[in-house]
Amino acid sequence: MQSPHAAEVEAARAKLRQLEVDRAARPHCTVSRSLLAMALKSLAGIFEQGTSGISVVVAFNGRILSFDCNGLKSVVAATGTAWPARYKLAMSAIAEVLPIRLNPSEVEVGIWKSMLEIGPARCPGVSEVK
């Protein structure tokens, strides 16, 4: 018979396995660090002008990751599965985490629990664009 502690451990492991499955299924892609840095720098002019009320739409079609902000579109080659939707967040959410330290040569960009993840950075307030 399994002890109560062993049952709790097994339940925690099952929860962790489910979390890993959910995380792997989220919209995400992989981008070269140098290309992503250039894409983020291309938006720098907008960051400097102020971010109040400005939104960024992020999308990935299976080949191209794009950041569309106020008519300025920055695109970069990426690998992964096309995202099911486009996602929108306030420019200020990205501006608050810049500059982002992008250490590995490949950086993961994805959507997780209403956040845009750019490597180690988490930008809250993401919503799906209808």
In a domain, 16, yes or no: no
Q: Are 93 and 127 in contact (CB under 8 A)?
A: no
65 is a domain residue: yes
Position 1 in a domain? no
Cis peptide before 120 (omega within 30 of 0): no
Is residue 52's pLDDT more than 80?
no
| CATH code for the domain of 101 | 3.10.150.10
pLDDT digits (tens, 9 = 90+) for 79-105: 999 999 999 999 888 888 877 777 889
For residue 2, pLDDT over 70 is answered with no
Per-residue pLDDT, 51: 59
Give 31: exposed, middle or buried? Use CB within 10 Å, 0-12, 13-18, 19+: buried
Q: Is residue 38 part of a domain?
A: yes
Total domains present in the chain:
1
pTM metric for this prediction: 0.82
For residue 109, is it within any domain? yes
Dihedral angle, C-alpha 79, 76, 56, 23, nearest 10 °: 20
Sign of CA dihedral 130, 81, 92, 73: negative
What pLDDT was estimated at residue 129? 95
